[in-house]
Amino acid sequence: MKPISKLQAVIECKCPRCRKGPMFSGSAYSFKGQVTNEYCAHCNLRFEREPGFFYVAMFISYAMNVAEMIAISVAAYVLGVALTYENLWVYVTIIIAGVFVFAPINYRYSRVFLLHWLTPGLGFIPALWEKQTVKP
């Protein structure tokens, strides 16, 4: 069986080193809250590379929020909400609702993007794909 692609590993929130182990336990919209696994269940990679590592994910999440706000505003305009002073609160309400709806996704994918694309020296090791699961 051949390894999954990097894009598929990002979409499925898999470990950047082995692309098999999940980075999170539970779903994005779980009532139990979101928990980033401490270690990869397959290759035993520690996801938080150093103390405070995921603080950088806040900046990625901020950029994602800005892009989503712009996309939501453009979508509202295209769908017929006139951009006038009277409709200002309609836009504000739609944007705030969008931010709350996308917050769990931003939380996850900001961390996934940080580990997969913005962490130097952390890459895919094909030999780990065939290896059996390591028990931590």
More confident residue, 96 or 49: 96
Range of the domain at 34: 6-130
Q: What is the pLDDT of residue 78?
A: 93
3 state DSSP class of 124: coil
Residue 135 included in any domain: no
Cα 61 to Cα 42: distance, rounded to the nearest angstrom: 27
Predicted pLDDT of residue 29: 84
Q: Please indicate, yes or no, if residue 20 is contained in any of the structural domains.
A: yes
Closest CA to 116 of 21, 10, 2: 10
Residue 83 is predicted with a pLDDT of 79
State how far the Cα of 79 lies from the Cα of 98, in Å rounded to an integer: 15
Q: pLDDT: is 124 or 64 the higher one?
A: 64
Domain for residue 88, yes or no? yes
DSSP string covering 6-56: HHHHHHTTB-TTTS-SBSEES-TT-TT--EE-SB-TTT--BSS-STTGGGH
Domain assignment present for 87 = yes
What is the tens place of the pLDDT at every residue in 83-134?
Answer: 788 888 999 999 999 999 999 999 999 999 999 998 888 888 888 877 766 5
Q: Which two tokens stand for residue 92?
A: 């504000």
Total count of domains within the chain: 1
User: What is the predicted pLDDT for the residue at 114?
Assistant: 93
d(Cα 13, Cα 23) in Å, to the nearest integer? 6
Report the pLDDT value the prediction gives residue 124, as an integer from 0 to 100.
Answer: 87
State phi, psi for 126 to the nearest 5 degrees. Answer: -55, -30
pLDDT digits (tens, 9 = 90+) for 5-37: 999 999 999 999 999 999 998 888 877 778 889
